[in-house]
Amino acid sequence: CIRLCCLFGKRLVNGKCITEQGNFIFLHSIYEYINNSLQNESKSADELFLLIVHNPCQKTGYYSNKFLNKNVFFLNGSLYLDYYNTIIESTSYCLANVAQNRFTVNVCLDIIKTRTIIFICCLLGIMLLSLIMFIVYSIIPELRNIYDFILCRYSSLTF
């Protein structure tokens, strides 16, 4: 299933669903192309997927991402973002209509926070190892030649 942030006929403006008049062209331009020569027709996304109106990002907040043509919906509802080279589960995003034929993918912030935490942990690990290397090269007198001095200064620059 694909989750929509707002009901049909509503647009997402500043995080709120607002009713607007006009035609609601949303998912009719997304098609599944099948590499099967026996099937000549393509089905639109609203014929292939169950569309659910539910914003899973209400509690955590979301990051709005322009929907590009190279993004792919899988049959289980997960979304592949080609620009980021990542797969997002169907429970971690919703699609929002922001203009007549434009929509965005709102990715929940808990996914982004997880990646940020992993990045920070790796950065702290590198800094810790550089600190240990700096201390070892500063204390041990056998390691006080020109090459070790350069390595010691290099490790101190990572702070």
C-alpha–C-alpha distance, residues 11 and 154, integer Å: 53
Which domains, from first to last, does the chain contain?
2-109 (2.170.180.11), 112-158 (no CATH)
Which residue in this structure is represented by tokens 């790796």? 122
pLDDT tens string for the chain (159 positions)? 777 777 777 777 777 778 776 555 555 445 444 444 444 555 555 566 667 777 777 777 776 776 655 667 787 878 887 777 788 888 888 877 766 666 777 887 766 667 778 888 999 999 999 888 888 888 888 877 888 888 888 878 876
Could you tell me where the beta strands, DSSP code E, fall in the chain? 2-4, 10-13, 16-19, 31-32, 43-44, 51-53, 62-66, 72-73, 79-81, 86-88, 93-97, 103-108
Strands (E), 67-147: 72-73, 79-81, 86-88, 93-97, 103-108
pTM of the model: 0.53
